[in-house]
Structure 1
């Protein structure tokens, strides 16, 4: 296999079929800001994606892309709404196919990757894999919201309950009713 020298940045446009036939391995970094679909699901577009991609032929002589992507991202915590660190690591095993019909016949351990002739934007593949790896709900590992906000013994809740009891409109009516009945009873007794 032919290895390309480790470079800082991963090339954006490649010919994946040629790379697979030559057994090329590429490793590099991609700025997160260059992946707009991923950035739209995050708090920040700062950071980098580390990717190691191996192009080659599998046992059935299918053109494959196998690799690993790692990233340290910031996603919004659904408890406190502040940025929460998120470490992602995902592996990909793709088989290059010409069309959707060919994709049906590939082994189940691989995902199909529809690739035409010529150059392809490899960043789109990285974006797809990262989007599939993002958690549905993100939150801090440690407790970011104090438990008293979720407790029924919260002082704020107690104040609201005591205020409701003090200002009960039926209590006021009861007092008025009692005040009206008391003078009437005394006036009847005087007659």
Structure 2
């Protein structure tokens, strides 16, 4: 993709009316919520946004993004690279009523004063696309499987599980 920096603010109604596309990148360290969630981020997010007006007259944005983010391994907490890709479709709205009337495949994006903050839109989509849990491969992780299990857990797993109906049988026998 392009190495051009995306503008932070755009006029989506004008871009949609002209059927324009934007393609470029945003620095990951400029995405403050991502940094708060996952720590400092080197690199860039590659983005492509196609602005259009659909047959029903709605202004839409079809977008793609990809980035390599550094996320903490949930076992050892060491950072690891994770590739994130997303394809999204947005409906440009100026009120909650318009948002409620969008079809299910369009996510609403609220535009105020004819301006749209692309940084916020891209950051939202990137955060939604992050994997919930990431782990190093067991052979590369600093924490082994044995370190993750405690003696009490392993002893409990060796005992057969009691039937959940055993308590009911006991109670039924008392009457």
Give the gaps of 5 or more residues in structure 1.
1-5, 154-191
Question: Are 2:23 and 1:27 equivalent residues in the alignment?
Answer: yes
Partner of 1:163: none
Which residue of 144, 147, 150 corresponds with 2:145? 147
* Cα distance between partner residues in 2 of 1:36 and 1:152: 37
Give the gaps of 5 or more residues in structure 2.
152-175
Calculate the aligned-residue CA RMSD, in Å. Answer: 1.7
* Cα distance between partner residues in 2 of 1:150 and 1:122: 42
Partner of 2:171: none
Deviation at residue 93 of structure 1 after TM alignment = 0.3
Does the C-alpha gap of structure 1 residues 47 and 7 become closer, same or farther in structure 2, counting only changes over 3 Å? closer
Partner of 1:52: 48
Which residue of 72, 87, 91 corresponds with 1:76? 72
The structure with the larger Rg is 1
Which residue of 7, 14, 19 corresponds with 1:11? 7
Give aligned pairs, total.
Answer: 148
TM-score by length of 2: 0.78
Deviation at residue 141 of structure 1 after TM alignment = 3.9
- Cα deviation 1:168-191 (Å, max 9, x = unaligned): xxxxxxxxxxxxxxxxxxxxxxxx
Partner of 2:102: 106
SS in 2 for 1:95: strand
Question: Are 2:37 and 1:41 equivalent residues in the alignment?
Answer: yes
* Cα distance between partner residues in 2 of 1:15 and 1:150: 52
The structure with more helix, counted as a fraction of residues: 1
- Are the counterparts in 2 of residues 85 and 140 from structure 1 also a CA contact under 8 Å? no
- Are the counterparts in 2 of residues 12 and 121 from structure 1 also a CA contact under 8 Å? yes
- Cα deviation 1:140-166 (Å, max 9, x = unaligned): 24441223324679xxxxxxxxxxxxx
